[in-house]
């Protein structure tokens, strides 16, 4: 007899062999889909050569790009310009009749860090200056014509893991992308020194734009277009030795943050070079920027400042900490006596800091003059025209590449000028190797040439003549003394150097 098969006697589908198999397949499919989407969500690729690395708030895209990928929306415009020029350079070289090219990497933290002074504006200005140099090198004959320059852009991030990835990308792509040098470099921190060393180990030279720490002197493979802190301190001493300033008594305010090479060497060099009898009696004022409560610390020190009666305060700190100092200084008990605050080149970022309104108020109400030893400023060209090459500054004058391309941008912080000069110095070294017979230039070729950039081979930079000494730093580089007033206006009041006279090449012929 055949067993009944009606609805009341049918075995449930999920208890049959076929049903159980189908259920298992369904479960596996769901799990597989979930696994696929989980793995996809963990994809770290941002673009070719760019990966998302880090944990938590420090997780970001780092690496190397030709400009097709922008690390920050605020940089989209200048990245687009660089990418377009890179595309033209490669297409022309591959056309069969074009000029050969090499790549230079511009390495710079592309996003602002609350722990550093650089703002989005200063980062953008620096890249605008780098593009200006690329365009001038490729589109004019002022600096030679071959090879053309392809400008890659690298963001190293802020952790060891991120920096190691980015440097690894540069060294691994050296041959494929024809990378022959690195420019830029960011600020004078210990991590910068390690990156320079890692690149030098791969025979890739670095051309620093705004690196000033004296601890970077004689670093293998590093050329700097900015004067070291020792020269800035000497220029400050020169400024304080002229005219009515010659009798001013000085209080040193220094940062005890051991991680910051810039502030440490700036304070040490100034203390070493200013005659001891020029300092006020009593202890220097020492704060620690790595700790909280700066404004409270400075408020508590104002009574001692008034007892010491300085005419000048030398502030060997970062611009981000100036507001915390100037606020209490403006409310000092001895406010009836005017006082000058003199600082180093990082003060160029003061106007761009979020706290500048506090600085402005202090300058307006506190009988305070704020000046600093700058790296570059357009006012220097008028203050001391003989110290600058007319050809070098032409890109930044009316009708020049920078002004035409970035009409709304600002040269006041000097970042664009210094970036331009760093890349231009790299281009000079690169093209000194090239001949009609030899166009296959390597990073080792460029590395070999960095000690030749002096005297007759000095580079005419927009920030002044760049004659590189044996320690990799420019000799007697022009240093403008710049005043910041209560309106945020920057004015060059003098141009000096470590020796008092900016370097200019000796006449030939």
- Give the span between the Cα atoms of 197 and 208, in whole angstroms: 13
Do 367 and 404 have their domain in common?
Answer: no
Strands 179-184 and 222-224: unpaired
- Give the span between the Cα atoms of 234 and 434, in whole angstroms: 38
Question: Is 492 a member of any domain?
Answer: no
pLDDT in tens, the chain (509 residues): 333 334 343 444 444 545 555 555 454 555 555 444 444 445 799 999 999 999 998 899 999 999 999 999 999 999 999 999 999 999 999 987 788 999 999 999 999 876 666 789 999 999 999 999 999 999 998 888 899 999 999 999 989 999 999 999 999 999 999 999 999 976 656 788 899 999 999 999 999 999 988 888 889 999 999 999 999 999 999 999 988 899 999 999 999 998 888 899 899 999 999 999 999 998 899 999 999 999 999 999 999 999 999 999 999 999 999 999 999 999 999 999 999 999 999 999 898 888 899 999 999 999 999 999 999 999 999 999 999 999 999 999 999 999 999 999 999 999 999 999 999 999 999 999 988 778 889 999 999 999 999 999 999 999 999 999 999 999 999 999 999 999 999 999 999 999 999 999 987 65
Tokens standing for residue 291: 């700790």
Number of CB atoms found within 10 A of residue 415's CB: 30
Do 252 and 286 have their domain in common?
Answer: yes
Tokens 């930044």: give the residue: 396
pTM of the model: 0.89
DSSP string, 349-393: GGGGSTTHHHHHHHHHHTTEEEEEE-S--THHHHH-GGGS-HHHH
Question: Is 63 a member of any domain?
Answer: yes
Do 205 and 354 have their domain in common?
Answer: no
Q: Which of the listed residues 356, 373, 390 is the one where a domain comes to its end?
A: 373
Do 319 and 398 have their domain in common?
Answer: no
Tokens 């009988």: give the residue: 367
Do 297 and 259 have their domain in common?
Answer: yes
State how many domains the chain has.
2
Do 175 and 207 have their domain in common?
Answer: yes
SS3 state at 149: strand
Q: Which of the listed residues 357, 373, 389 is the one where a domain comes to its end?
A: 373
Question: Is 493 a member of any domain?
Answer: no
- Give the span between the Cα atoms of 12 and 5, in whole angstroms: 12
Tokens standing for residue 415: 């970042």
Question: Is 320 a member of any domain?
Answer: yes
Do 261 and 403 have their domain in common?
Answer: no
Question: Is 399 a member of any domain?
Answer: yes
Do 87 and 209 have their domain in common?
Answer: yes
Do 58 and 199 have their domain in common?
Answer: yes
Do 215 and 338 have their domain in common?
Answer: no
CATH code at position 447: 3.40.50.2300
Question: Is 464 a member of any domain?
Answer: yes
Q: Which of 408, 407, 375, 378 is nearest to 392 (CA)?
A: 378
- Give the span between the Cα atoms of 452 and 469, in whole angstroms: 9
DSSP string, 244-309: GGGG--EEEEEE--TTBHHHHHHHHHHHHHS-GGGBPSSPPEEE-TTSS-HHHHHHHHHHHHHHH-
Q: Which of the listed residues 373, 398, 413 is the one where a domain comes to its end?
A: 373
Compute CA distances 122 → 76, 152, 168, 317, 384, whole Å. 15, 19, 26, 18, 25
Do 242 and 355 have their domain in common?
Answer: yes
Structural domain harbouring 114: 50-227+379-476
Q: Report whether 324 contacts 298 (CB < 8 A).
A: yes
Question: Is 31 a member of any domain?
Answer: no
- Give the span between the Cα atoms of 474 and 460, in whole angstroms: 12
Do 194 and 80 have their domain in common?
Answer: yes
Question: Is 294 a member of any domain?
Answer: yes
DSSP string, 417-475: HHHHHHHHHHHHHHHHH--SS-----HHHHHHHGGG-SGGG-EEETTEEE-B-TTSSBT
């Amino acid at each position: 007899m055949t067993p009944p098969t009606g609805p009341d006697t049918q075995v449930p589908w999920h208890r049959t062999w076929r049903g159980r198999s189908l259920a298992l397949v369904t479960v596996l499919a769901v799990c597989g889909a979930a696994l696929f989407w989980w793995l996809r969500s963990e994809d770290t690729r941002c673009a070719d050569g760019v990966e998302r690395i880090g944990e938590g708030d420090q997780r970001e895209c780092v690496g190397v790009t030709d400009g097709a990928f922008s690390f920050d929306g605020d940089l989209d415009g200048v990245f687009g310009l660089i990418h377009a020029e890179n595309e033209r350079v490669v297409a022309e070289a591959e056309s069969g009749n074009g000029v050969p090219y090499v790549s230079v990497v511009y390495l710079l933290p592309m996003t602002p860090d609350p722990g550093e002074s650089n703002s989005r504006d200063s980062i953008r200005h620096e890249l605008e200056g780098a593009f200006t140099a690329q365009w001038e090198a490729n589109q004019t004959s002022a600096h030679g014509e071959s090879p053309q320059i392809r400008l890659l852009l690298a963001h190293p991030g802020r952790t060891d893991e991120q920096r190691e990835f980015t440097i690894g990308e540069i060294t691994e792509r050296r041959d494929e992308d024809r990378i022959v040098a690195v420019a830029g470099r960011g600020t004078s921190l210990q991590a910068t020194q390690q990156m320079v060393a890692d690149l030098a180990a791969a025979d890739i030279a670095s051309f620093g734009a705004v690196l000033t720490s004296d601890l970077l002197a004689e670093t293998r493979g590093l050329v700097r277009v900015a004067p070291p802190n020792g020269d800035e301190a000497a220029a400050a001493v020169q400024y304080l030795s002229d005219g009515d300033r010659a009798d001013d008594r000085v209080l040193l305010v220094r940062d005890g943050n051991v991680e910051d090479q810039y502030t440490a060497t700036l304070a040490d060099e100034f203390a070493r070079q200013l005659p001891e009898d020029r300092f006020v009696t009593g202890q220097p004022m020492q704060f620690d920027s790595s700790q909280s409560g700066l404004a409270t610390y400075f408020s508590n020190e104002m009574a001692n400042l008034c007892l010491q009666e300085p005419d000048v305060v030398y502030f060997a700190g970062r611009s981000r900490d100036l507001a915390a100092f100037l606020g209490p200084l403006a409310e000092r008990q001895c406010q009836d006596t005017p006082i000058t605050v003199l600082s180093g080149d990082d003060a160029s970022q003061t106007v761009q800091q979020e706290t500048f309104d506090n600085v402005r108020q202090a300058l307006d109400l506190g009988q305070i003059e704020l000046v600093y030893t700058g790296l570059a400023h357009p006012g220097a060209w008028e203050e001391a025209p003989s110290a600058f090459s007319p050809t070098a500054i032409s890109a930044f004058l009316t009708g020049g590449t920078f002004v035409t391309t970035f009409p709304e941008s600002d040269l006041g912080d000097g970042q664009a000028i210094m970036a331009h000069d760093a890349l231009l110095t790299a281009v000079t070294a690169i093209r000194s190797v090239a001949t009609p017979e030899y166009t296959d230039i390597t990073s080792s070729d460029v590395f070999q040439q960095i000690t030749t950039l002096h005297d007759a081979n000095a580079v005419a930079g927009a920030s002044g003549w760049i004659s590189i000494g044996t320690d990799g730093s420019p000799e007697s580089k022009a240093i403008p003394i710049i005043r910041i007033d209560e309106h945020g206006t920057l004015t060059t009041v003098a141009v000096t150097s470590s020796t008092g006279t900016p370097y200019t090449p000796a006449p030939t012929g």
